[in-house]
Amino acid sequence: MHLLAVSLVEICLMHPLDVVKTRFQIQRGTSDPNSYKSLGDCFRTIFRNEGISGFYKGILPPIVAETPKRAVKFFTFEQYKKLLNLTPLSPGLALSVAGLGAGLTEAVVVNPFEVVKVSLQANRDSFAEQPSSFAQARRIINSEGFGLRGLNKGLTSTLGRHGVFNMIYFGFYFNVKDAIPSSPDPTLEFLRKFAIGLVSGTISSCVNIPFDVAKSRIQGPQPVPGEIKYRTCFQSMALVYREEGRRMTLKLYVHSRCLFHCGLVHRGSVLCLVTGGAVMLLVYEYVSGWLQKNW
């Protein structure tokens, strides 16, 4: 119940920013007169045209999926870690591979919910005029089925997004935590772990942005109805790069018009996202330690 309550509060607070992130990721450049020019413009336009409820489009799928997703993530991480301890892999590499496995497993569970969520978030009609989450899921299944063109479209991008994120997220955190001496002071020890978790979440979030953009393009509305332009993960990345990021370099990572960057600033903001990631790792570690000690 505690995990459910935490997840619910976090989703309600962060979902408006997730809607904004998705809107930026699915728009193709700023030449379209309907495109959002800035973060403030996106907020104002959604509020003016769709009302406050527009910021909560597609909120039901994350609410339904979030707690099981986290349970799958941490449970499978422990199982993969135990299996990899039996292999000749070094402990540091084994943690990263276990994180990758946990992320891939998590992606399979969460992808159908992401498809429904993105399709609802992309809808610019007023909240009252759009279908419910269940009606949207039925529409996708009836018209496109359960496969990679239907309820599981964008699966490869979701696998990349969650796999890369968790590989760095877990691998960096536990390897760096073991490399930096612990402190006997409980407060300093907590701050040490929190700082490492913060850096881990930041790096993970930045690295997996291209996968997240590709996922949104594949799962969102296609430029021409009936014609599938964004088909697979790397094909979509290449297409975005070729059409909208030809001059993209490392410097463009901090440029608001770089499509791979879209979502980095708007993604629930990075500060909130990585803080949540740091807190999640700390809760996981302290709860795991308590259970091992008392059970």
Q: What is the pLDDT of residue 275?
A: 57
CA dist 168 and 211 (Å) reads 14
Q: What is the pLDDT of residue 172?
A: 94
pLDDT in tens, 74-112: 889 989 999 998 888 898 899 999 999 999 999 999 999
User: What confidence tier does 30 reach under pLDDT thresholds 50, 70, 90?
Assistant: low
Over 50: is that where the pLDDT of 14 sits? yes
Phi first, then psi, for residue 252 (nearest 5°) are: -70, -10
Over 60: is that where the pLDDT of 216 sits? yes
What does the domain layout of the chain look like in residue ranges? 2-294
> DSSP class of residue 260?
T
Over 80: is that where the pLDDT of 253 sits? no
Backbone dihedral region of 214: left (phi > 0), alpha (psi from -120 to 50 degrees) or beta?
alpha
Average pLDDT on 206-216 reads 87
Q: What is the pLDDT of residue 70?
A: 78
Positions of E strands within 23-76: none
Average pLDDT on 129-148 reads 89
Average pLDDT on 49-57 reads 89
Measured between alpha carbons, how far is residue 184 from residues 5, 192, 272, 286 in Å?
Answer: 32, 11, 29, 16
| 2-294 is a CATH 1.50.40.10 domain | yes
How much is the pTM?
0.77
**Mean pLDDT, all residues of the chain:** 80
Q: What is the pLDDT of residue 232?
A: 93
